[in-house]
Amino acid sequence: MAESKEGVWSNMVRSKKLTGVLLLTALAFLVLLPRFVSGYEVRVITNIFMYAVIAQGINLMSGYMGYLPFGNAMFFGTGAYITAIGMNKGLSFFLAAPLAALVAILFSVVFGFVLLRLRGHYFSIATIGLSAALLGVVQNSTITGGAMGTTLPLLTLSPSATNAFFYFGMLALMVFSSLVLYLVVKSRFGFGIRSIKANEEAAVSMGINTTYHKVVTWAISALFTSLAGALYAYWMSFIAPAEVFDIMIGVDCIVIMLLGGTGTILGPIAGAFVYEFVAQSVWSALPNYHLGVLGILIIVILLFVPKGIFSGIGDFARRRQMKLLRKAGT
């Protein structure tokens, strides 16, 4: 009796149809949500979508290929700045944003050929270095407005329409990045990058062109991150280099990825929601200790639920069920 229940449960979870229906319901919920919440909450959720997008970019690199891009915020900054420069030169947002993505992809390909020859730690550290160097260049250039930052043309819509524009923009970007991630991971190319994570030497000896795989993967990651940066810049209408090249953007998104589950497609999205919920509730209560609380939160996650809270709950439920089954057996 108990065993058949277990069987039904796992069949339900594995059923693709049910997953599809659930996902569409969740999406419909998110589409309708702005009608029922305040403008402030709409902006908070927009922010959550943005973090989810950046986390997906890191997830693709780290969760599936095993290369942690610690300094991925550089693509966020690049996206934001190229959009700002383009729009100040008179381009519309819908031309400036793709241009920003193109530049970020170009960066990732050029630097990828150099940096992706490095393994493990070295790659992560080199991305931090590159990010800091780019920040220095932006701070010392005149076209970017230097360390003071730069402004963008405002979106001339009513406040609620502006909120809706960026809400749906970020939502669309999140759906797009998750869909791309899903398609990439399920493809032949996806098997290639997962084989690199499993064992790079073996992948090479099986005839996989690892350099090509790594560079293309980083370019996809750069695409997600730079588009998020482009939307963010237009949304804020003012950006400063230290803010959009902040290494903390990457750190927050790594935490989000770990929280939701590394190497899962929906994990980073769920992680972003949980993370922002914690941020809103705990940090508003302890405004002077938010760095410390974040630090403790990271340590707790790593020590107790290293595979992410959702698989952590799953493991707990499975153990519990096994225990019940054993009890029923004796």
Partner 1 sequence: MNMQMLVNGVLLGGLYALMGLGFSLQWGISGIVNLSYGAMVILGCYISLECYSLLHLSPFISIIISGAILYALGALIYRTVLQRIVRGGIVFTLILTYAVRLIIENGLLRVWSADYRTISLSYAGDNFQFAGTVVPLVKSLVFVVVTLLVYVTYCFMLKTKTGKGIQAVALDREGAEAVGISVEKMYLINFALGTALAGIAGSLWASVYAFSPDSMNMIAGKVFVIAIIGGLGNIWGAAAGGLLLGLAETVGATLIGSQWQEVIGMAIMVIVLVWRPYGLMGKKFFG
Contact residues for partner 1 (CB under 8 A)?
62, 68, 70, 114-115, 117-122, 124-126, 128-130, 132-133, 135-137, 139-140, 251, 254-255, 258, 262, 288-292, 294-299, 302-303, 306
Q: Which of 268, 221, 239, 276 is nearest to 71 (CA)?
A: 221
Q: Cβ of residue 264: shortest distance to partner 1, in angstroms? A: 14
Q: Which of 115, 102, 104 is nearest to 69 (CA)?
A: 115
In contact, 105 and 219? CB cutoff 8 Å? yes
Q: Cβ of residue 135: shortest distance to partner 1, in angstroms? A: 8
Query: Which residue, 52 or 116, has its beta carbon nearer to partner 1?
Result: 116
Q: Which residues pair with 151 in a beta bridge?
A: 238
CA distance 160 to 158: 6
Q: Which residues pair with 150 in a beta bridge?
A: 239
Query: Which residue, 135 or 230, has its beta carbon nearer to partner 1?
Result: 135
Query: Which residue, 139 or 311, has its beta carbon nearer to partner 1?
Result: 139
Query: Which residue, 61 or 228, has its beta carbon nearer to partner 1?
Result: 61
CA 173 to chain centre: 11
Query: Which residue, 13 or 299, has its beta carbon nearer to partner 1?
Result: 299
Return the ∠ at Cα 200 (arms to 195 and 203), rounded to 5°.
Answer: 55
* The token pair that represents 153 in the structure block: 């043309």
Amino acid at 251: V
CA distance 245 to 6: 48
**Residue 200 backbone dihedrals phi, psi, to 5 degrees:** -65, -40
Q: Cβ of residue 46: shortest distance to partner 1, in angstroms? A: 25
Q: Cβ of residue 140: shortest distance to partner 1, in angstroms? A: 6
Q: Cβ of residue 119: shortest distance to partner 1, in angstroms? A: 8
- Helices and strands counted in the chain (H then E): 17, 2
Query: Which residue, 299 or 325, has its beta carbon nearer to partner 1?
Result: 299
Secondary element (H or E) of residue 239: strand 238-239
CA distance to 53, 137, 140, 150, 320, per residue, from 146 (Å): 27, 9, 5, 8, 57
Query: Which residue, 119 or 323, has its beta carbon nearer to partner 1?
Result: 119
Q: Cβ of residue 164: shortest distance to partner 1, in angstroms? A: 35
Burial 236-262 (b: 16+ CB within 10 A, else e): beebbbebbbbbebbebbbbbbbbbbb
CA 76 to chain centre: 11
Query: Which residue, 26 or 114, has its beta carbon nearer to partner 1?
Result: 114
